[in-house]
Amino acid sequence: MPAPDTAQTAFHLVCAAAGLVLLGMAANEWRCVRADEYRRVALAAGILLLSRLAVLALPRVGIAAVPCQEWILEGLGLATFTWAYLHKALARPRHATLLLGGSVALVAGVAGACLILGSWRAETAPGPWSDTAWPATLFLLHGVALGLWLRRRPLFSWLLGMAFLVSALGLVAGLLGVPGLVAYGYLASLPLFVVETYRGILADLRSFGDELRTVAEGTLQQTQDMAFLLEVGQAVTASLDLPVVLERVSEAVARAVNADWAYILLLANRDPEELYVAAHYGWWGRRMAHESRPRRQALVRLPEFPLLRHAILRRRQVLANQPEEYEQFSRLHEALAHPQAGPALVQPIYVQEKPLGALVLGKVGQQGTFGEADARLCLALVNQVATSIDNARLYQSVDEQARHLAELLRVREQEATQRQAILESIADGVVVASEAEEVVLANAAAERILGMPREKLIGQAIRRLYAALLQSARSKGSDAPVFKWGDREVMGSMAPVRMPDGTLLGYVAVFRDVTREQQAERAKSSFIATVSHELRTPLTSIKGYAELMAAGAVGAISPQQARFLEIVGHNTERMVSLINNLIAVSEMERGTITVQARPVDIKGVVEDAVRSRQPQAGEKQLSLVSSVPPGLAPARGDPQHIRQILDNLLDNALHYTPCQGRVTVWAAEASLESDSAEPQAYVVVSVRDTGVSIAPEDQEKIFERFYRAENALSVEAGGTGMGLAIARSLVEAHGGRIWVESEVGVGSTFSFTIPAARP
């Protein structure tokens, strides 16, 4: 490839300049993007630059040119450029390295053969062998390069293939007798490589620009999504009122995904297959309609909306962009007077695996569809929506409970005020103590009765009051005893307060100032006792004189006179019995019944009592008999009281036994257990009648004062209702007991015991 020295120098300078340009572009791009392909181009350009500069510098330092050096340089350049630009055509990076190594080895081998067969001196021609070997070698390298380019044509530009093709055509022209075209073909390929490199750099810049634009758009979209999330977050946290929250959420989510309408459907509590429209938002035409509270609550049955049912049950988002999918929502639109259906997005709302309902978004008609970005944004928004709905419901529940508790508290306070007012208005003193026996409550009456201010009374132990009550109850045998408290006489009672399960809550004591009543009672009792004793004396005289007259002490009397005297005697005995009862009642109330115990002949007392009641029995044609065995042991008691007991029992029997009935009195001795659990001898006296029976529930009550059992003879019998109560008090004063046995259709038997006199 002979050429003038100036032409060769220019040739080498152009090649060096091309290598420098390539090196600058490739190295700078590799420094910026660290792409491996630019590193390869930079290495190939560096080899080109250094090799051409070396060719220019060696002759100037006295080193002769190597034979076939231009063939060698062109072969090395072709090998490195093939490796740098066409490495993508090979399957693996290792194959590109092998290709470079093989190409360099081929060039080195041909160069070595030329040097061995020729002379090392530059002016010595290599011979005809080299003229054939080098073109063949370069043809082989060009063929490999063009083959790789054609093999993976979509990966490379046409400029790259044109560069290799131009170089190959220059080689063909040299073989055809135009050797100067070889150098021109090589030179023409270098600018193509430069342009290819520049085009690749521009393509990368465009790619980087597209990526940057995509990143910017993604960042903008993320920013918008974050803004929508922030807007929804502000909407759901601005209020805890559920209707307000749903109203704001429906609008915020619809605007976030550019939807024309939005429904928030919540599950109904009464039916898991039913939802109600809690809020909806719509924008169509040229007006905005925002209705969070529909004119009527629209109900949605899940079986009528398969997509909605699928989304809620499966907890999966559903995109309905096809008409056959979203047409099912037309019924819901018609119910709410909204326009035709369009593409829809169904997002289930649930919190902690618990379904709450669904958010349904849609567009009017077929104007646009929902994409993956809308689905992702909606999925991100629904977590806040579910949390806000759950929080709002929790707040609503807590608010309702708070209102309910406030109402209960108001009612309790009102009741407490009323109870306090009632407590303060009670004339009786009321004292309430805790389970620790400390006074916690007292009314004004308690202050007055106990003579202690309320402030001092609160916190005091109730034991003092309890001890006074207990001592009085034991001494007087009453449930509401009267005891002395200072200069007052107080009647009181105290009882524990317990829960239904028996838990002790405290104690309550009720007091009444009965000082005046007790004084009046004592005055009455004294008056009755005085009058009774004053009446008994003249009655005794009347009875005695009537008996004397009936016995003929003043002369003979006619039967009619005898009858009159008998009536006088009978009524006198009745008056004496009434007076004795009055005295007994007075003693009962004072608790001062006195028993003058001595041996008493029960047989005589019974026969005397029966004899005195014979006229009364005769008036009703009753049979009144006694049956007392001879030799009955005497009783130890007060004969006057025992006679009074018998008189009351006989009066009761005669009053309640119908005409032509029978009353029997008998007595017997019995050995009964006493309080000491040792048998003791008693005399048992019984009065049996054939009168009306006594119901079992009345058999204990008839011994109470003024109690009268309900029967047909109650009104006819009359009486004071004190006879049996007096009898029981007198019997108990003797240490005995009294009871009744009654059988329907047979009658009743009243029995009492009096201790037998010891021999």
Separation CA 693–CA 747 (nearest Å): 5
User: Is the pLDDT reported for residue 656 higher than 90?
Assistant: no
Strand partners, 474: none
Task: Enter the tokens of residue 649.
Answer: 């029992």
Averaged pLDDT, 8-28: 85
Q: Which residue did the predictor score with more confidence, 65 or 419?
A: 419
Classify domain 240-283+292-398 by CATH architecture.
2-Layer Sandwich (3.30)
- In the DSSP assignment, the letter for residue 293 is S
Averaged pLDDT, 315-333: 75
How far from chain centre, in Å, is Cα 475?
A: 57
Distances, alpha carbon 3 to alpha carbons 18, 111, 137, 148, 272, in Å:
20, 21, 22, 33, 98
With tokens 């708070």, the residue in question is: 402
Mean pLDDT of the chain: 78
Q: Judge residue 122's burial from the number of C-beta atoms within 10 Å of its C-beta, 0-12 exposed, 13-18 middle, 19 or more buried.
A: middle
Task: Kindly report, residue by residue over 325-353, the tens digit of the pLDDT.
Answer: 777 777 676 666 555 567 888 888 887 77
- End-to-end Cα, the chain, rounded Å: 177
Other Cβ atoms closer than 10 A to 268 = 15
Task: Enter the tokens of residue 588.
Answer: 């009962």
Please check whether residue 457 is in contact with residue 450, taking contact to mean a CB–CB distance below 8 angstroms: yes
Q: Where residue 637 falls among pLDDT bands split at 50, 70, 90?
A: very high
- In the DSSP assignment, the letter for residue 282 is E
Separation CA 616–CA 191 (nearest Å): 162
- 3-class SS of residue 435: coil
At residue 8, what are phi and psi to the nearest 5 degrees?
-65, -40
Q: Where residue 372 falls among pLDDT bands split at 50, 70, 90?
A: confident
* Single-letter residue type at 315: R
Q: Where residue 121 falls among pLDDT bands split at 50, 70, 90?
A: very low
Please check whether residue 467 is in contact with residue 474, taking contact to mean a CB–CB distance below 8 angstroms: no
Please check whether residue 431 is in contact with residue 508, taking contact to mean a CB–CB distance below 8 angstroms: yes
With tokens 């004496």, the residue in question is: 576
User: Is the pLDDT reported for residue 191 higher than 50?
Assistant: yes
User: Is the pLDDT reported for residue 649 higher than 60?
Assistant: yes
Please check whether residue 264 is in contact with residue 232, taking contact to mean a CB–CB distance below 8 angstroms: no
Please check whether residue 263 is in contact with residue 297, taking contact to mean a CB–CB distance below 8 angstroms: no
- Comparing 27-31, 392-396, 590-594, which segment has the lowest mean pLDDT? 590-594
User: Is the pLDDT reported for residue 687 higher than 90?
Assistant: yes
Phi-psi region of 552 (alpha: psi -120 to 50; beta: other; left: phi over 0): left
In 628-759, which ranges are E strands? 635-637, 662-673, 679-689, 738-743, 747-755
Helix (H) or strand (E) holding 318: strand 318-320
Other Cβ atoms closer than 10 A to 105 = 11
Averaged pLDDT, 172-194: 79
Given this chain, do its domains 240-283+292-398 and 426-592 carry the same CATH topology?
A: yes
Q: Which residue did the predictor score with more confidence, 589 or 207?
A: 207
- pLDDT of 1 reads 40
Largest alpha-carbon pair distance within the chain?
A: 213
Domain boundaries 1-238, corresponding CATH code: 1.20.1070
- Comparing 551-560, 601-610, 652-661, 732-741, which segment has the lowest mean pLDDT? 551-560
User: Is the pLDDT reported for residue 714 higher than 70?
Assistant: no
- pLDDT of 601 reads 92
Q: Which residue did the predictor score with more confidence, 207 or 582?
A: 207
Q: Which residue did the predictor score with more confidence, 641 or 269?
A: 641
Q: Which residue did the predictor score with more confidence, 712 or 651?
A: 651
Q: Judge residue 291's burial from the number of C-beta atoms within 10 Å of its C-beta, 0-12 exposed, 13-18 middle, 19 or more buried.
A: middle
Task: Kindly report, residue by residue over 606-616, the tens digit of the pLDDT.
Answer: 998 898 888 88
User: Is the pLDDT reported for residue 405 higher than 50?
Assistant: yes
Q: Where residue 667 falls among pLDDT bands split at 50, 70, 90?
A: very high
Please check whether residue 345 is in contact with residue 351, taking contact to mean a CB–CB distance below 8 angstroms: no
- Comparing 288-302, 493-507, 523-537, which segment has the lowest mean pLDDT? 288-302
Domain boundaries 426-592, corresponding CATH code: 3.30.450.20
Please check whether residue 628 is in contact with residue 604, taking contact to mean a CB–CB distance below 8 angstroms: no
Q: Where residue 366 falls among pLDDT bands split at 50, 70, 90?
A: low
- pLDDT of 560 reads 84
Task: Enter the tokens of residue 647.
Answer: 């008189």
Other Cβ atoms closer than 10 A to 61 = 6
- Comparing 3-7, 313-317, 358-362, 530-534, which segment has the lowest mean pLDDT? 3-7
Q: Residue ranges of the domains in the chain?
A: 1-238, 240-283+292-398, 426-592, 595-755
Averaged pLDDT, 363-372: 75
- pLDDT of 477 reads 47
The dihedral sign for the CA sequence 282, 288, 291, 297: negative
Most confident of 22-36, 399-413, 557-571: 399-413
Task: Kindly report, residue by residue over 88-111, the tens digit of the pLDDT.
Answer: 877 787 888 888 888 888 888 887
Three-class HEC string of 193-230: HHHHHHHHHHHHHHHHHHHHHHHHHHHHHHHHHHHHHH
Strand partners, 262: 281, 361
Percent of the chain whose predicted confidence (pLDDT) is above 90:
5
- Comparing 60-69, 135-144, 613-622, 685-694, which segment has the lowest mean pLDDT? 60-69
- pLDDT of 294 reads 43
Alpha helices in 361-453 (DSSP H): 372-425, 444-450
Of 635, 646, 641, the closest CA to residue 596 belongs to 641
Task: Enter the tokens of residue 651.
Answer: 């009066």
Of 35, 59, 55, 58, the closest CA to residue 47 belongs to 55
Please check whether residue 164 is in contact with residue 145, taking contact to mean a CB–CB distance below 8 angstroms: yes
In 134-273, which ranges are E strands? 261-267
Q: Which positions ≥6 away from 73 have C-beta within 8 Å? A: 51, 52, 55
Domain boundaries 595-755, corresponding CATH code: 3.30.565.10
* Single-letter residue type at 513: D
User: Is the pLDDT reported for residue 124 higher than 70?
Assistant: no
Task: Enter the tokens of residue 241.
Answer: 């009122």
User: Is the pLDDT reported for residue 29 higher than 80?
Assistant: yes
Q: Which positions ≥6 away from 408 have C-beta within 8 Å? A: none
Averaged pLDDT, 602-626: 88
* Single-letter residue type at 698: D
User: Is the pLDDT reported for residue 718 higher than 60?
Assistant: no
The dihedral sign for the CA sequence 706, 711, 713, 716: positive
Task: Enter the tokens of residue 522.
Answer: 């004592």
Q: What share of the chain is helix, strand, coil (3-state, %, to 5)?
A: 60, 20, 25
Averaged pLDDT, 710-721: 54
Averaged pLDDT, 244-266: 80
Q: Where residue 261 falls among pLDDT bands split at 50, 70, 90?
A: confident
Strand partners, 281: 262, 290
User: Is the pLDDT reported for residue 538 higher than 60?
Assistant: yes
User: Is the pLDDT reported for residue 438 higher than 70?
Assistant: yes
Q: Which residue did the predictor score with more confidence, 234 or 332?
A: 332
User: Is the pLDDT reported for residue 122 higher than 50?
Assistant: no
- pLDDT of 664 reads 93
Please check whether residue 284 is in contact with residue 339, taking contact to mean a CB–CB distance below 8 angstroms: yes
Other Cβ atoms closer than 10 A to 74 = 25
Of 650, 533, 541, 543, the closest CA to residue 582 belongs to 533
User: Is the pLDDT reported for residue 2 higher than 80?
Assistant: no
Q: Which residue did the predictor score with more confidence, 741 or 536?
A: 741
Of 114, 63, 105, the closest CA to residue 83 belongs to 105
User: Is the pLDDT reported for residue 291 higher than 60?
Assistant: no
Q: Which positions ≥6 away from 550 have C-beta within 8 Å? A: 557, 562, 565, 566, 569
Please count the CA atoms within 13 angstroms of the CA of 640 that sit on its side-chain side: 11
Q: Which residue did the predictor score with more confidence, 284 or 280?
A: 280
Please check whether residue 644 is in contact with residue 651, taking contact to mean a CB–CB distance below 8 angstroms: no
Task: Enter the tokens of residue 9.
Answer: 């120098």
Task: Kindly report, residue by residue over 447-464, the tens digit of the pLDDT.
Answer: 888 788 888 878 777 766
Q: Judge residue 520's burial from the number of C-beta atoms within 10 Å of its C-beta, 0-12 exposed, 13-18 middle, 19 or more buried.
A: exposed
- 3-class SS of residue 697: helix
Separation CA 82–CA 96 (nearest Å): 9
Q: Which residue did the predictor score with more confidence, 128 or 698?
A: 698
Q: Where residue 753 falls among pLDDT bands split at 50, 70, 90?
A: very high
Strand partners, 345: 319, 361
Q: Buried b / exposed e across 350-380, counting CB within 10 Å, b at 16+? A: bbeeebbbbbbbbbbeeeebbeeebbebbee
Averaged pLDDT, 475-501: 74
